[in-house]
């Protein structure tokens, strides 16, 4: 259940756990049996993320993984036990193992195919080579809402429903505004806030967006209890009072995803 920060973290974790030495690769579930057989015993020598796409390199072959809505990796030390549930991919060495469940995509790509995936993704706030100007060009010409544009991976790669809701709240921007009605300064603020928030997310392994003055400790409120685990302003807080102004947080289905915002703090 990942946004881009988790995928970047997974690239680092996989490299740390399996990089530079042979890895045993299997598909206990059987749905990636052919690919696993091709990779088994080879050396992992590359790991990178672009948005929500993870690439693990074995020479010229790239293992391309997309977790989708509910895919996930688990890492553990020691001998790998009998798989529990549906394990699409298992990697293991003398020290430990990792299991991949429920991915949207788990496939082998050649260098050209990998390039094609990069080509259809927008700039990623977590990548050093990102060119935010490419995203601005699309946003500034679009009549689509800024809420939908932030989720469009061709525009900008790695942002999901949590970062989308939270960055718009932090900047006081109404999610229904058209991209072309945003000013350059507003877009630059969105981009730089995403860079900062998502880097924090890579370090923490969760999404925390509340400023120091609105943390549970600072406000004397109970810490948030939610599956996604971070401290946030509006995501999945529908009907609850806004942490800044007390107005009930609103929600609606927007382009098939749940959108959350504060109607009072986000009027611009």
Partner DNA sequence: AGCTCATGGCGAG
Partner DNA sequence: TCGCCCTGAGCTG
Residue closer to DNA, measured from CB, 42 or 138: 138
**Site for DNA contains 122 (CB under 7 A):** no
Which one of 15, 66, 118, 138 is in contact with DNA (CB under 7 A)? 66
Q: What number of chain residues touch DNA (CB under 7 A)?
A: 36
Cβ distance 44 to 58 under 8 Å?
A: yes
Choose the binding region for DNA from 65-73, 174-182, 190-198, 216-224 (rule: CB under 7 A): 65-73
Integer Cα distance of 228 and 142 in angstroms:
31
Helix (H, G, I), strand (E, B) or coil at 163: helix
Cβ contacts of 7 within 8 Å, gap of 6 or more? 49, 51, 52, 53, 54, 67, 158
42: left (phi over 0), alpha (psi -120 to 50) or beta: beta
Residue closer to DNA, measured from CB, 42 or 206: 206
Residue closer to DNA, measured from CB, 131 or 226: 226
Cβ distance 28 to 80 under 8 Å?
A: no
Cβ contacts of 103 within 8 Å, gap of 6 or more? 65, 66, 67, 68, 71, 88, 89
127-186: contacts with DNA (CB under 7 A): 151, 153, 159-162
**Site for DNA contains 29 (CB under 7 A):** yes
Choose the binding region for DNA from 55-63, 126-134, 185-193, 254-262 (rule: CB under 7 A): 254-262
Which one of 93, 178, 236, 264 is in contact with DNA (CB under 7 A)? 236
Integer Cα distance of 61 and 33 in angstroms:
16
- The pattern of x and - marking residues 196 through 235 that bind DNA according to CB under 7 A reads -----------x-------------------xxx------
Positions that interact with DNA (CB under 7 A): 1-3, 6, 29, 31, 51-52, 66, 68-71, 84-86, 88, 101-104, 151, 153, 159-162, 207, 227-229, 236, 255-258
């Amino acid at each position: 259940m990942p946004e881009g920060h988790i995928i970047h973290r997974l690239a680092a974790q996989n490299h740390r756990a399996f990089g530079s030495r042979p890895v045993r690769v299997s598909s206990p579930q059987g749905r990636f049996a052919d690919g696993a057989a091709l990779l088994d015993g080879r050396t992992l020598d590359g790991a990178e993320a672009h948005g929500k796409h993870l690439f693990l390199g074995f020479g010229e072959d790239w293992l391309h993984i997309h977790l989708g809505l509910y895919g996930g990796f688990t890492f553990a030390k020691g001998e790998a036990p009998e798989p529990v549930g549906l394990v699409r991919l298992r990697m293991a060495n003398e020290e430990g193992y990792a299991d991949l469940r429920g991915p949207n995509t788990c496939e082998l790509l050649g260098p050209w195919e990998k390039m094609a995936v990069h080509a259809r993704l927008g700039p990623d706030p977590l990548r050093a080579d990102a060119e935010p100007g490419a995203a601005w060009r699309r946003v500034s010409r679009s009549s689509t809402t800024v809420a939908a544009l932030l989720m469009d991976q061709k525009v900008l790669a790695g942002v999901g429903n949590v970062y989308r809701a939270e960055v718009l709240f932090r900047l006081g921007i109404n999610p229904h505004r058209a991209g072309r009605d945003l000013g350059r300064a507003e877009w630059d603020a969105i981009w730089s806030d995403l860079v900062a928030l998502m880097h924090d997310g890579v370090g923490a392994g969760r999404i925390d967006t509340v400023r120091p003055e609105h943390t549970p400790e600072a406000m004397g409120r109970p810490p948030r209890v939610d599956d996604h685990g971070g401290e946030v302003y509006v995501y999945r807080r529908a009907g609850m009072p806004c942490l800044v102004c007390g107005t009930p947080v609103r929600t609606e289905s927007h382009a098939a995803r749940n959108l959350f915002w504060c109607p009072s703090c986000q009027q611009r």
